[in-house]
Amino acid sequence: MACRCRVSRALSCCADAKPSIQARARIHPSAPPGPGRGQLVEHEYERRGALCYLAAWDTRRAKIFDRCAAKDGIEPFDALVNQFMSQHPYQTAQRVFLVCDNGSAHRGQRSIDRLQGTWPNLIVVHPDPRPGISADQVMPDGMLMGGPGVREAYAAARAVPGTLDGLYCHCDCSKHFGHRSLLTCFESDHGSQCDICMGEATLAQRLVTQGNSLQQIRKEIDATFAR
């Protein structure tokens, strides 16, 4: 009898990594909640270093895939993707959309080529700038400390906030400070203390005035500032 199993046409997963999660060994195991009491967690623990937590969430099936690694990077991220892509229904789906940010392990055309080389039905999607994003949260000149280069960079952030919201900051502040995009760097004094942030912002504004698309700007920023 011919197999009549339904093949999924399209699935969608969001993936990300969170480094520097403290690994703690509790002296006594935690006890689950019971009648008349909440969960019991031992407050004494031993430090076992730090781990990177990686997770992918199937937005359609409400299913999570996760793992821990000694550190983040291309190898552990690819292992996470392989974790769900190697099983049904992802392996046989016509298309699997992978939504991720511009983290260093999954940024740019090289990462797309790498992942699709292993899984041809995988489509990597990098989020676009948020609709209606503005420069309202960019720090005003009166609160800035520093020379002309600082003011020029913050002026660039005010001029092209939508572009900066679609760029990855190569000082890796998304890992260390939870920044969403390059624009976030200029919503505090962080940008004034980082030559990479300021360099990316001024270059991005110059490329916008030259008529470059966001994809072209991303490519130039990556080529100039990626380490």
Reported as a single tens digit per residue, the pLDDT across 2-40 is: 334 344 567 889 999 998 899 889 988 999 999 999 999
> Cα dihedral sign for 96, 97, 103, 106?
positive
Give every strand in the sheet of 63-69, ordered side by side: 63-69, 45-58, 10-26, 95-99, 122-125
Tokens for 119, please give them. 């899984």
The pLDDT tens digits for 74-98 are: 999 999 999 999 999 999 988 898 9
In the block, residue with structure tokens 């400390």: 145
CB 153 within 8 Å of CB 160: no
Query: What's the mean pLDDT in 173-178?
Result: 73
Q: For residue 121, what are the domain limits?
A: 10-24+45-125
Is 35 a domain residue? no
Pick 100 or 199 by higher pLDDT.
199
pLDDT in tens, 118-132: 999 998 766 678 889
Q: Are 211 and 146 contained in the same domain?
A: yes
Percent residues over pLDDT 70 in the chain: 92
Does residue 151 sit within a domain?
yes
Instruction: Tell which of 92, 125, 158 closes a domain.
Output: 125
Tokens standing for residue 18: 């969170």
Residue 101 DSSP code: -
Residue 184 in domain = yes
Asked, for residue 136, whether it belongs to a domain, the answer is no
DSSP 214: H
Indicate the SS3 state at residue 111.
helix
Tokens of 154: 């913050």
pLDDT digit string (tens) for 178-206? 788 899 999 999 999 899 999 999 999 99
pLDDT for 1: 36
Q: Which of 101, 68, 104 is nearest to 83 (CA)?
A: 68
Give 180: exposed, middle or buried? Use CB within 10 Å, 0-12, 13-18, 19+: middle
* Cβ contact 64:57 at 8 Å: yes
Cα-based angle 57, 174, 129 (whole degrees, multiple of 5): 75
Looking at every residue in the chain, the average pLDDT score rounds to 87
Token match 């990098």: residue? 126
b/e map 68-92, b = 16+ CB within 10 Å: ebeebeeebbbebbeebbeeeebee
Q: What is the CATH number of the domain that holds 63?
A: 3.30.420.10
Cβ 96 vs Cβ 132: under 8 Å: no
180, 132 contact by CB (below 8 A): no
Asked if residue 98 and residue 157 are part of one domain, the reply reads no
